[in-house]
A and B are shown apart, each in its own frame.
Chain A
Amino acid sequence: MTGDPIPTGPVVKDSVIEVEDLRKSYGGCEAVRGVSFDVAEGEVLAVLGPNGAGKTTVVEILEGYRSRDSGRAQVLGVDPARGGPELRQRVGIVLQECSIERYLTVAEVVRMHSEYYRRPRPIDEVIGLVGLSEKAGSRVKSLSGGQQRRLDLALGLVGDPELLFLDEPTTGFDPSARRQAWEVVRNLCRLGLTVVLTTHYMDEAQALADRVVVMAAGRVVAEGPPESIGGRADAAARIRFRLPAGSTLSDLPLAADADAGGAALVETIEATKALHLLTGWALDRGLELEGLSVTRPSLEDVYLSLTTAPGAQAEAP
């Protein structure tokens, strides 16, 4: 497991983002086909989906980079298409693949960006938040990829935003850099910031988000907390073990199949009862159920089944 979800902030207050039946086409191709969701204050929402699902388009509409064709969008109570500099004072945007002035130092870049805002956060504090204090005097070009990404985050934070957009914050990171970045994002969430992050990593959504919106082919196909999304909490559990020598599937006290690896597989919605039957059966016979495991479908399984379900396919134009 990759860590607990962030503790939810203060009890749901107002909506920071409201999206209703959002639509956007590019040259006859409908990229966003009626998307609706809300984001509450202090919440961390992950927009999850494969490439081309429309998640970047939705987020860029909310960031004010794109116009929408129809539907309603409100960000901090303002239409993002008309928010202008006033809205951008209150929003931080961290884009993917965006290079920073290489010849300035970390502190200089942060100071330069702080001058764009009316009430910036203190520069040292921002650099500390993203864990770059020792690098404050170093040129940007001397930073590692992960450090540059954290500097990106600092630039998104320096205006002391109420809402932060993170576009695929750890794409291309090695595992330890990802952990560090997650730690930084978790710290931010403790500041009470509302965060919208896009990602195509299931574990990232699980590690960071209070709630997940799964998009496929321009639509929302599932929405909910990561632990229960797509009916995951109610889904059948899978009990696996190796058949004891001399036993066959038909000897077992309940219906079982052989899985692809040759182990016995029991799918059940009553895991406790099934385990009791199985272990009782084994103990009675003095057998050991080697490799015994109980699993629920991972978020990844749910995600794959959601995004490849027939309803998620793009319709022929």
Chain B
Amino acid sequence: MTAAVPLALARRVKWEQRLFWRNPAAAVFTFAFPLLFLVIFTAIYSDSAVHLPGGTVRFAQYYVPAIVSFGLISACYTNLAFTICVRREDGSLKRTRGTPLSPATYLAGMVGNVVVISLILTVLTIGLGLAFYGLRFPDRYLGLVVTIVTAAFCFSSLGMAVATVVPNQEAAPAIINFILFPLLFISGTFGQISDHSVLARIAAVFPIRPLIQEMVTVFDPFARGTGMVATHLGMLVLWGVAGVVVSLRRFRWEPRRT
């Protein structure tokens, strides 16, 4: 019995992966956006400098970690919210609920899938940064892994939670992106925003800015120690827990039909 659960989960992740890569539109969308932003914005701002608390760095040293964050959000939150809405409304969730597969294993398989996608996207983004944009990684492997895991938890759980407020498939892109994009902009995804600005103070309450700041710190050549900042990671955990609470209360397996 103890071996059966990891096996069932591994099989689910395998199928989710196959489903993801077979649907070219979804796969391209998830990968193209962050990588396109990376190429375009570094081309525009390659010469500008970014001021970190310890000193000044090249634009890419800020921007690559910001895009890694964006990739994590895109892979976890956007993907999961969208997939859950579609599968709920087309009856796939209801069908699965009628089989002996445990709902927890099914959902864990979906999360496992977006974690795999996140890892691929993260490696790609950092690899491009190291190879072409002069990114430096100060060997904070633990900090990087902890940040990725915490972010994956936070944004997967928020993706599930947001899926519960989307009434139907048609409304999904609008609602999911309407929540995401304004926050991406005010959180400094596309360029640094000063801590003292009004936007930054608003953004600090939401999870995206803490993630970007945490990721930038992990790559910050002037910072000391592991690069893990309790307030940033704590904020992500807090939002993740909120997402779990909302999901547990509101998750539906059946389409809304009137």
Contacts and interface: CB of A to CB of B under 8 A. Distances in A.
Interface in A122-162: 155, 159
A95 B100 contact: no
Nearest to B8: A115
A93 B254 contact: no
A104 B18 contact: yes
Given A101-B19, A103-B19, A115-B11, A88 B100 contact: yes
A108 B98 CA distance: 19
Interface of B: 8, 11, 15, 18-19, 22-23, 90-92, 94-95, 97-102, 254
A126 to B, nearest CB: 14
A98 B98 CA distance: 12
Given A104-B18, A112-B15, A98 B90 contact: yes
B112 to A, nearest CB: 15
A71 to B, nearest CB: 22
Contacts of B94: 65, 95, 98
B100 A89 contact: yes
11 contacts: A65-B98, A85-B102, A88-B98, A95-B95, A98-B90, A98-B91, A99-B91, A103-B22, A104-B19, A115-B8, A117-B100
A104 B101 CA distance: 19
Contacts, number: 55
B99 A113 contact: yes
Contacts of A102: 23
A104 B20 CA distance: 10
Contact of A99 (B90, B99, B101): B90
A98 B101 CA distance: 18
Contact of B100 (A98, A112, A116): A116
A98 B22 contact: no
A91 B254 CA distance: 19
A104 B98 contact: no
A112 B23 CA distance: 17
B22 A93 contact: no
Nearest to A84: B100
A69 interface: no
A101 B101 CA distance: 17
B154 to A, nearest CB: 28
A63 B91 CA distance: 15
Interface in A69-113: 85-86, 88-89, 91, 93, 95, 97-104, 108, 112-113
Contact of B98 (A86, A93, A97, A117): A93
A98 B95 contact: yes
B167 to A, nearest CB: 18
A102 B94 CA distance: 17
A64 interface: yes
Contacts of B98: 63-65, 88, 91, 93, 95
Given A95-B98, A116-B100, 8 more contacts: A63-B98, A88-B98, A95-B91, A98-B92, A99-B91, A104-B19, A116-B101, A155-B95
A95 B97 CA distance: 11
A196 to B, nearest CB: 14
B20 to A, nearest CB: 9
A111 to B, nearest CB: 9
Contacts of A65: 94, 97-98, 254
Nearest to B105: A116
Name which of B91, B94, B99 has the most chain A CB atoms within 10 A of its CB.
Answer: B99
Given A97-B91, A99-B90, A85 B18 contact: no
A118 B1 CA distance: 12
Given A89-B100, A116-B101, A108 B18 contact: yes
Given A99-B90, A112-B15, A93 B95 contact: yes
A159 B100 contact: yes
Contacts of B90: 98-99
A103 B23 contact: yes
Nearest to A92: B98
Contact of A159 (B19, B99, B102, B254): B99
Contacts of B101: 85, 116
Contacts of A91: 98
B65 to A, nearest CB: 33
A155 B98 CA distance: 11
A102 B25 CA distance: 13
B105 to A, nearest CB: 9
B146 to A, nearest CB: 33
Name which of A89, A98, A117 has the most chain B CB atoms within 10 A of its CB.
Answer: A98
A103 B24 CA distance: 10
A63 to B, nearest CB: 6
A108 B22 CA distance: 12
Contacts of A63: 98
B130 to A, nearest CB: 34
B92 A85 contact: no
A8 B8 CA distance: 39
Nearest to A100: B92
Contacts of B19: 101, 103-104
Contacts of A103: 19, 22-23
